[in-house]
Structure 1
Amino acid sequence: MFSRGRDKWEALCTIYKAGTYVSVANKGCGDLETHIVTAKHRDAVRGGEGSSKLTDFFVQPGKTEDAAHAAVGAFAFHTVKHHHSYRLMDCTSALLKRTFTDSANVKKFSSACTKTEAIVNGVLAPHSVDTTLEALQDIPYTVKNNL
């Protein structure tokens, strides 16, 4: 909760916002106890408990979430193939979770319009362009110059 400050008369509060130093010049540990009971510090502690760590949103090695990720990609492809709106995906995740309550893959499924658009523009579109260019390289053709 506290670490060494800029000098021996300060402590750095690691719970509150960055750069919050508490003077320990007057009462030492008593100054730290006084800081801990302030409303700002208690609110910061409560906010940290309710927040998720950023690393919780990354796929961890060894976890089998490939099927859920494949489903998200398949739904993005399905959206484009059938000319659906990206906004349709805003309620699809919730609908799937309510419909298939016993599926572990559906519990991990999460894809709204922004994520679907990012998958289409960042993954599916570049892949389809690369695949098309590779296929065109195998076709012998000539280009006439009309100059």
Structure 2
Amino acid sequence: MTVAYDGVKTLTQHATLKKHKDSASAAALSQRMNSFFTPKGSAQSGKVSIVELVELYHSIKHHISYVAQDCSLKVLKQVITDSEIVKQMTGGHTKCTALINQVLYPYSMDLVQEGLKNEVPFSNAIDAAYKGNRKFFPVEIQYFSPKDGICHKILDFYEDSFEDSRPIKEKL
């Protein structure tokens, strides 16, 4: 459409076309992009983050895979349609990995360090577990806490193809 010669007449004619009217009605029915996002730092954003972390912690505690966790979140969104918090939750593999590595894991290590602050006696253990042709080693620490009793915590979980005691000793 060029308005160089007819100016307002061209604009008026364009406004009466079916294509323009369809586009205008579609735009009126569409949600704006900012309706899908919560402003950073808002109270709503904090609530969404807390619920996402709790949901992820629950999945980890019960050994639920990322795929199953993401699927259950999709079901929640379909079932609980009146909650703004549930509508804004996301739980893809990349986000779950980031939350575990940058939030939950550091926090759990802080809890272990807090439990060991008073120079309590502890022991550590390591064992090997096979999954297919891969060999994994969980590193565990056990200590006594007056508040919680005997505590078993996983410090690390690494993969190594050697069964020799030297690499295990070096890792510990």
> For the superposition of Structure 1 and Structure 2, which TM-score range results when normalised by the shorter chain?
0.5 to 0.7
- 1:92 — aligned with what? 76
Shift of 1:75: 1.0
Q: Identity over aligned residues, as a percent?
A: 16
Task: Tell whether the 8 Å contact from 2:3 to 2:10 is kept in structure 1 after alignment.
Answer: yes
Q: Count how many residue pairs are aligned between Structure 1 and Structure 2.
A: 112
2:31 is matched with 52
Supply the distance in 2 between the matched residues of 1:53 and 1:77 (Cα, whole angstroms). 32
Deviations 1:52-95 (A, max 9, x none): 22222232367421223311221122122212222222212333
Structure 2 vs 1, CA of residues 83 and 77 (structure 1 numbering), >3 Å: closer, same or farther? same
Distance 1:81 1:93 in 2: 22
Instruction: Name the structure, 1 or 2, with higher relative contact order (CA <8 Å, separation 6+).
Output: 1
Bigger proportion of residues as strand: 2
Q: TM-score, normalised by structure 1?
A: 0.56
Q: Distance in 2 between matches of 1:129 and 1:75?
A: 15
Instruction: For structure 2, list consecutive stretches of 5 or more residues without a partner in the other structure.
Output: 117-167
Tell me, yes or no, if the aligned pair for 1:68 and 1:108 is still in contact at 8 Å: yes
* TM-score, structure 2 normalization: 0.49
Q: Return the match for 2:8 from 1, 13, 29.
A: 29
Aligned CA-pair RMSD: 3.4
Deviations 1:10-64 (CA, angstroms, capped at 9, x unpaired): xxxxxxxxxxxx3123432111001112222222212211222222223236742
Query: Can you give the 5+ residue segments of structure 1 that lack an aligned partner in the other structure?
Result: 1-21
CA gap 1:111/1:90 in 2 versus in 1, 3 angstroms: farther
